[in-house]
Structure 1
Amino acid sequence: MNDLTLIREAAVAVGETALRMQSEGLRIWTKDNNTPVTDADIEVDSLLKAMLLRARPDYGWLSEETADDPSRMDRRRLFVVDPIDGTAAFMNYKPWWAVSIAVVEDGQPIAAVVHAPELEETFTARVGQGAHLNGDPIQASTTAELVNSGMLGDAKMFAHPAWRAPWPDMRIETRNSIAYRLCLVADGRFDAALALSAKSEWDLAAADLIRSEAGAVLTDHKGRTFSYNKPVPLMPSLICAAPAMHPLILERVEHIDLRN
C-alpha cells in the first residue's frame, strides 16, 4: 500500500469515529494555549498514530495533539497530522472541520489528504500527480483581479482603516479549518486565503501539497515559501492564492511586521 492510500484510508476511518463521538456527545475543555479541544480530537490522534506508525514504523510523527518529540527531526520522512482541524466548528456541530494528514520527506510534503467528513469531501495529492477532490482533478482559478474575487479571511481585518489603500469589494468568507480553506483555493471555489497570524505545520502541510498540485501559490506575507519538520513548527502567516492573485495580495501586505 502506498503512502497516499494509507493516509486516505486512515483519514476516512477516523472521520467516522469523530462523527460517532460527536453524535454521542463530546467532552470539551481548554488547552494551555487557550484553544478548545475535545475527547474526539484526542481519540482520533491516538488512532491515527497507532494506525500509521504500525504501517510505517520508521517514520517520524508531528501532531497538534501529541507532545512534540524532537527526534522527529532525525527522520527523513514523517507524518504531519491535525486530527481535527477546525475543532471550534466540530464542537459546535458545523461542517467546516477536517482530518489533515501529510507525509513529509526532506522538509516537503509528498502525499496528502484533507478529509471533511460532514461535507463528504476528500482532497488528495501526491507529488507530481495532481490534486483531486473525491477522485476528480482540481485546479486553482485563473482570477487576476482582487475586485469581486472570492477571499477567505477575516472581514474585519480587510475593513480595518490602517491599510495603506482600502481593499476592493470582495466576497469575503471564512472557514474554521485552515487546511480546508487552502483546499477551497486549490479547487477554485475561492481565489485566495489570507491570514496574518501564526499557523502550525499541521495546519498547512497536507493542504500545501494539494494547493501546489492544483496550481495555487502559498507563501507567508513576506513571500517566503514553507518547509516542514522544523524545530519550531510555526509559520508566521499565509497567503494562498491563484497564481495571478498572489502578487496583488503580497504587494498589499509584505510591508507588515508581525514580529513572529
Structure 2
Amino acid sequence: MSETLQTVDVATSDADLLAGTTAAVREAGAALRELFGDIVRYETREELMSALAVNDDTALEVLRPALTRLRPQARWVEDELDGGALPPGEWWVVDPAEGNVNHLHGLPEWAVTATLVRENSPVLTVVHLPLTGETYTARTGAGAHLDGRPLRVAPTTDLGLGIVATSQARPDEDESVVRAVGSSITAMLLDALVVRIAVPATLHLTNLAAGRIDAFWQFAGARADLLPGALLVTEAGGRVSDAHGRPWTPQSESFLATAPGIHAETVATLSR
C-alpha cells in the first residue's frame, strides 16, 4: 500500500501530518508529470478551461482522498482562485497544478502544493516540483526545508544589489490592478539590480526562501498562490507584509516577501 493510502489518526502530530502531506503531494506530482510534454493547443477559452481541468482533476484524484484520510475533520477549499479569510477551523488549501498554464505550454515552471490552514494561519505546507524532484516543506516553528535541508533567506541589505520578482495573479485582472503592477515594475527596474516577471508566484517564493532571490511582490492573488510561499519564507527567516509594510493576511490587496535586510527599502520603492 502506498504511503498516501494509509489512514492517519486525527490526533496525529503536525510533524507526522507534514510527512503524510509530502507523500501525497509527490504522488500527485508523479501523476501530473505523466501528462507533461507536448504543447496542448486550444482555440477558445472553453477549450483552455477544459485542458486546465484535466490537469487539476488528475492531481486531485490523488490529493483529495489522501489528505482527507490524513485530516478527516479539515474542510476543503474548492476554488483555488478564492481569496479572503476562511471560516474557523482547519482547511486544506490546495493548488493541484500551480502554474497550470505553463504545464499546458510545455514550460517547466509548475508545481503541486498543499497547505493546512488552522484558524486562518498556515501551519504546514508542501510544494513539490515534479520535473526536478525538489520538495519544499515548512511547518510553523520548525523551519523551512528543501528535501530535508534547512533553508535561509539571503543576507542582502541593499535593494540595488538584489534580484526581485513579481507575478501576474490571474488573467483578466481589473485595470487598476494592471496599472499598479506596471508602475511597480517600473519602480523596481529603477531601484533593484534585476527584475524577474513570471508565473507562478509560488516558485518565486521558494527561490526567496532558498536565498536565490531577495524579494517578491504581487498585487491581488489567491490563498493557494500565496499561503505556501508565505509560510516557507517566514520559516526561512524572511519578512512578509503587504506592499505598504502592514501585516499581510489573505484579505490584503497586495503581498510582499523579502529578505529582512531590504524590507523597508522595498516597501519604500513600492509605495512611491
The CA deviation at 1:108 is 0.7
Q: Where in structure 2 are the equivalents of 1:136-155 lying within 5 Å?
A: 136-153=149-166
The SS at the match of 1:193 is strand
What 5-or-longer segments of structure 2 have no aligned partner?
1-7, 9-15, 168-180
Are 1:118 and 2:118 an aligned pair?
A: no
Aligned equivalent of 1:179: 202
Aligned equivalent of 1:258: none
TM-score of the pair, normalised by structure 2: 0.78
Aligned equivalent of 1:208: 230
The SS at the match of 1:11 is helix
Are 1:57 and 2:107 an aligned pair?
A: no
Q: Percentage identity across aligned positions?
A: 26
Pick closer, same or farther for the CA change 1:65–1:171 going to 2, 3 Å: closer
The CA deviation at 1:22 is 2.3
Pick closer, same or farther for the CA change 1:135–1:127 going to 2, 3 Å: same
Quote the Cα distance in structure 2 between the aligned partners of 1:247 and 1:40.
40
Are 1:135 and 2:148 an aligned pair?
A: yes
Return the match for 1:17 from 24, 31, 40: 31
Contact 1:27 1:38 in 2 (8 A): no
Quote the Cα distance in structure 1 between the aligned partners of 2:160 and 2:256.
17
What 5-or-longer segments of structure 1 have no aligned partner?
229-233, 256-260
Pick closer, same or farther for the CA change 1:36–1:185 going to 2, 3 Å: farther
Equivalent residue letter for 1:99 = V
List per-residue Cα deviations over 1:203-229 (Å, max 9, x = no partner). 11122111111011111112233345x
Pick closer, same or farther for the CA change 1:227–1:88 going to 2, 3 Å: same
Pick closer, same or farther for the CA change 1:16–1:167 going to 2, 3 Å: same
Equivalent residue letter for 2:58 = E
Q: Which structure shows the bigger proportion of residues in helix conformation?
A: 2
Are 1:250 and 2:267 an aligned pair?
A: yes
Pick closer, same or farther for the CA change 1:178–1:35 going to 2, 3 Å: farther
Return the match for 1:240 from 229, 247, 257: 257
Are 1:188 and 2:211 an aligned pair?
A: yes
Contact 1:158 1:167 in 2 (8 A): no
Q: Report runs of 4+ in structure 1 exceeding 6 Å deviation.
A: 33-36
TM-score of the pair, normalised by structure 1: 0.82
Q: CA RMSD in A?
A: 3.0
The SS at the match of 2:58 is helix
The CA deviation at 1:175 is 3.8
Pick closer, same or farther for the CA change 1:153–1:52 going to 2, 3 Å: same
The SS at the match of 1:119 is coil
State the aligned residue count: 242
List per-residue Cα deviations over 1:55-85 (Å, max 9, x = no partner). 322101114459x8xxx624x1111111111
Aligned equivalent of 1:231: none
Quote the Cα distance in structure 2 between the aligned partners of 1:10 and 1:112.
12
Pick closer, same or farther for the CA change 1:140–1:177 going to 2, 3 Å: same
Are 1:89 and 2:85 an aligned pair?
A: no
List per-residue Cα deviations over 1:106-162 (Å, max 9, x = no partner). 1111111111111221100111111100110110011011113111126965563xx
Equivalent residue letter for 1:18 = L
Aligned equivalent of 2:63: 48
Pick closer, same or farther for the CA change 1:6–1:227 going to 2, 3 Å: farther
Quote the Cα distance in structure 1 between the aligned partners of 2:126 and 2:229.
8
List per-residue Cα deviations over 1:34-53 (Å, max 9, x = no partner). 89724112221243122211
Quote the Cα distance in structure 2 between the aligned partners of 1:63 and 1:47.
15
Equivalent residue letter for 1:204 = L
Quote the Cα distance in structure 2 between the aligned partners of 1:25 and 1:173.
24
Quote the Cα distance in structure 2 between the aligned partners of 1:244 and 1:63.
37
